[in-house]
Amino acid sequence: MDIVGLYNYWIVIFLMMAGFYVVIARGNLIKKLVGLNVFQASVFVLYISMGKVTGGTAPIIAEGITNYSNPLPHVLILTAIVVGVATTALGLALVVRIRQAYGTIEEDEIHKLDDDS
């Protein structure tokens, strides 16, 4: 089994787990969003590296080019990136509103405020 040759998957797995860990372990709402972004970025890398063809060029038609990378995963992930941007913007907007309503963006403090009221 070629462990080093599949390094792109190791990067994906590392990013995925790192992001996932931050989402779960951090109580700060902004840090959670950062973790979520890293988590999503791992999927972008997964898709993009999937489309790579060994020795392939950019998928633009030109003379003498027969071997080119698969453009479809790139297009798909462009959509996913846009979705990610929208999610981040919405998440940040919610955090701003939460901060306005509660005066804090720490999860445990918010829970405490909710329990008191």
Partner 1 sequence: MNDYLVLRVVTKLLMPFILLFALYVQFHGDFGPGGGFQAGVIFASGFILYALIFGVENAESILPDGILRSGMAGGVLLYAGVGIVSLLMGGNFLDYSVLQHDPVHGQHLGISVIEFGVGTTVACVMITVFYTFARWKG
Partner 2 sequence: MITEHFPALQIVIPLIAAPLCILLRWRNVPFGIALVATWSAFIISCLLLGQVMDQGIISYELGGWAAPWGIEYRIDAANAMVLLIVSGIGSVVVPYTRNSMLLEYIHERHYMFYSAYLLCLTGLMGVAITGDAFNLFVFLEISSLSSYVLISLGFDRRALTAAYQYLVLGTIGATFIVIGIGLLYHATGSLNMLDISQRLEINGYDRTVVAAFAFITVGTLLKLALFPLHLWLPDAYTYAPSSVSAFLAATATKVAVYVLLRFFFTIFGAEFSFETLPSGPPLMALAIIAMFTGSFVAIFQENIKRMLAYSSVAQIGYMILGVSLVTVNGVAATVLHLFNHALIKGGLFLAMGCIYFRISSHHIDNFAGLGRRMPLTMAAFVVGGLSLIGVPLTAGFISKWQFVLAALDRDLWWVAALLMMSSLLAVVYVWRVVEQAYFRSPPAGSEAVTEAPTSLLIPTWVLVGANIYFGIETELPLTVSRMAARALLGTQ
Binding site for partner 1 (CB under 8 A): 58, 60, 78, 82, 89, 92-93, 96, 99-100
Is residue 114 a contact residue for partner 2 (CB under 8 A)? yes
Out of partner 1, partner 2, none, what residue 60 binds, judged by CB under 5 to 8 A for its kind, is partner 1
Q: For residue 17, how many other CB atoms are within 10 A of its CB?
A: 13
Q: Which of 42, 52, 41 is nearest to 5 (CA)?
A: 52
Is residue 43 a contact residue for partner 2 (CB under 8 A)? yes
Q: Where are the alpha helices (DSSP H) in the chain?
A: 7-25, 29-50, 71-102, 107-116
Q: How far is the CB of 60 from partner 1 (least distance, A)?
A: 6
